[in-house]
Amino acid sequence: MPETLLPAGLSPAIALLLVAFSFLTSAFTAAFGIGGGVAMLGALAGTVPPALVIAVHGLVQFGSNIGRTVVQRAHVALPVILRFTLGSVVGVALGAWFVTALPERLLLLLLGGFILAMTWVPKPRLPGLGAAGLVIGGALASFVTMFVGATGPFVQALLLPLGLDKRGLVATHAACQSIQHLLKVGAFGALGLAFADWLPLVAAMIAAGFAGTLLGTRLLERMPERWFQIAIRTILTVVGLDLLRRAAGW
Q: Which of 23-32, 63-72, 215-224 is predicted most confidently?
A: 63-72
Judged against a pLDDT cut of 50, whether residue 242 lies above it is answered with yes
Residue 178: pLDDT band by 50, 70, 90 thresholds? very high
Name the E strands within the chain.
Answer: none
Judged against a pLDDT cut of 70, whether residue 104 lies above it is answered with no
Judged against a pLDDT cut of 70, whether residue 73 lies above it is answered with yes
Residue 49: pLDDT band by 50, 70, 90 thresholds? confident
User: Collapsing DSSP states into helix, strand and coil, what is residue 205?
Assistant: helix
Average pLDDT over residues 162-182: 89
CA 22 remoteness from chain centre:
13
pLDDT for 212 equals 87
CA distance 246 to 22: 24
- The larger pLDDT score, comparing residue 184 to residue 127, is at 184
Residue 100: pLDDT band by 50, 70, 90 thresholds? low
Residue 126: pLDDT band by 50, 70, 90 thresholds? very low
CA distance 138 to 157: 12
DSSP 96: H
- The answer to whether 240 and 156 are in contact (CB under 8 A) is no
Mean pLDDT taken over the chain: 80
**Domain of 224, in residue numbers:** 3-247
Q: Which residues contact 142 (CB under 8 A, 6 or more apart)?
A: 87, 88, 89, 90, 91, 92, 95, 151, 180, 183, 184
CA distance 189 to 194: 7
Domain count, the chain: 1
CA 60 remoteness from chain centre:
10
Q: Which residues contact 171 (CB under 8 A, 6 or more apart)?
A: 68, 69, 72, 73, 74, 75, 76, 77
